[in-house]
Structures are given as C-alpha cells and as structure tokens.
Amino acid sequence: MRDERGIEKVRGVSFDVRGGEIVALAGVDGNGQTELIDAVTGLRRPERGRVTVEGKEVTTASARRHFEIGVGHIPEDRQRRGLVLDFSIAENIALHEFRKPPDSRLGWLFPRRLIERARRLIKEFDVRGGGPKTPGGALSGGNQQKVILAREIDRDPRVLVAAQPTRGLDVGAIEFVHRRLVQERDEGRAVLLVSLELEEVLSLADKILVMYEGELVGEFPPTATEEELGVAMTGGGRREAVA
C-alpha cells in the first residue's frame, strides 16, 4: 500500500478478524493504519495481497460493494468521511440506502420512512441536540459519532471497522461508543478497532496487533501491559504470537 505521494506505507501485513471478537490495531499515528483501513473498506486498492470477507474476495471491489456484503465503517474523520454536514440526521442515516427499498423505489425517495427510521435510531443511540431534520453539522462531535454508529450498526454488518471511534469525544460519548462496540462483538460481529489509546485498546480488545512503520510487529493478548505495547509501538521489540 502506498499513500498519495507514492510512499510505501503498508507491507507484509496479514491478519484475520473472526465473528465474536474485537481485534485492535494499535500504533503511533502515521504508521500505515489509515492506508490499511482504506484497503479493508474498499477506499483504496492494495498493490499486492488479498482482502476477503466471509470467503468472498473483495480486494479490488468498491466501497459500495464492501457495504453490500456487510462491511460497516466508522471512519477516523467523522466530519469529512462520516457525515455530510449540510444533510439532516435523517439523510445522513440513509446515505447508504438511498437507492434501495424501503427508503426509495425507482429513484423516488420516501421522506416519511427516512424520518421514522431516524426517530427510532435517535432514541436508540441517544442522539441529543436535535431531531431528524437537524443538520449533521449542528451536532456536537459525540452526537455526530452516534449518528454514524446508528447508520452503520442498524444495517447489521458482518464486519464493523471502527477507526479512532472515540477521538475528540467527551467521557459520556466514549462510554457509549465502547458499550456499542462490545455489544456488536457479543452479538457475533467481527470488529476491527483502530486506536491510539492504549487504555481503550486494552479494555476492549480480544486480540491486539501492533503496527510500526507499515508492518505488524506484535500480536498480544488483552492481558498485555501498556509498557509492552508501548515498546512494540516504537519499534523496540517484536512479538510473533499471543502467549
């Protein structure tokens, strides 16, 4: 994987995420995590290797195709990639579904259904500060993230990719996000979490992978210490398998 400047950012990476587990990808920012997640979610095509979801190869598939086969994505930049800030909450929740029943048919949208769905999810995900017609840009960061969570989780994905899902959030919103990720894991979803926060990684993950300079340099159990992870994150040691 290369970035926009043509610099190689990811190489020799291989891992899997099974249903009913949270796999956390830890590392100092800028060590290839963004490019790797782009490949996993169809936003960027890898030069080599394969990406599969439940045995189906999606290496060169579009982001829409990833969505169709059950990959949910909570992007690290919620305002640039997660929401259309000028769209209402109802419209943002329906972003993936505009072309499909029951939200539309033959190109015609059904606003009432969009509003009903938004009301249900606003209540379920405790979105505060507005109603279905409130613009996404008028919400706090925590409530914007809840809208994204609602959209991605409501469609029952098989794989949920959460990239820096609590960055910039207050304590209450962080706790809500954590509970929902654990709930998805407990209901059988495969969850891939990318986080810079070691406390978050250790509290949520069933397996921890550490990335450094574009490579996976360690695999750790959730009983690992912050010191062990910190050493690996700075290239100070390699650990090939969970003890």
Structure-block tokens of residue 50? 């394969």
Highest mean pLDDT among 85-89, 90-94, 99-103: 85-89
Whether omega before 135 lies within 30 degrees of 0, making that bond cis, reads: no
Q: In whole angstroms, give the CA distance from residue 64 to residue 47.
A: 20
Task: State the pLDDT at residue 97.
Answer: 74
pLDDT tens, position by position, 128-187: 999 999 999 999 999 999 999 999 999 999 999 999 999 999 999 999 999 999 999 999
Q: Is the pTM of this model over 0.85?
A: yes
Could you give all domains of the chain from N- to C-terminal order, each with its CATH number? 21-233 (3.40.50.300)
H or E element in which residue 149 lies:
helix 141-154
Task: State the pLDDT at residue 4.
Answer: 74
Q: In whole angstroms, give the CA distance from residue 133 to residue 104.
A: 18
Residue 78 sits at φ, ψ, to 5 deg, of -65, -30
The least confident of 3-12, 191-200, 202-211 is 3-12
pLDDT-derived band of residue 5, with 50, 70 and 90 as boundaries?
confident
CA atoms within 13 A on the CB side of 39: 22
Task: State the pLDDT at residue 104.
Answer: 62
Task: State the pLDDT at residue 3.
Answer: 74
Task: State the pLDDT at residue 9.
Answer: 86
pLDDT-derived band of residue 243, with 50, 70 and 90 as boundaries?
very low
With a cut of 70, say whether residue 2 has pLDDT above it: yes
Q: Which of 39, 35, 37 has the alpha carbon at shortest distance from 5?
A: 35
pLDDT-above-70 percentage for the chain: 92
Q: What is the mean pLDDT of the chain?
A: 92
Residues 6+ apart with CB under 8 A from 202: 208, 222, 224, 226, 229
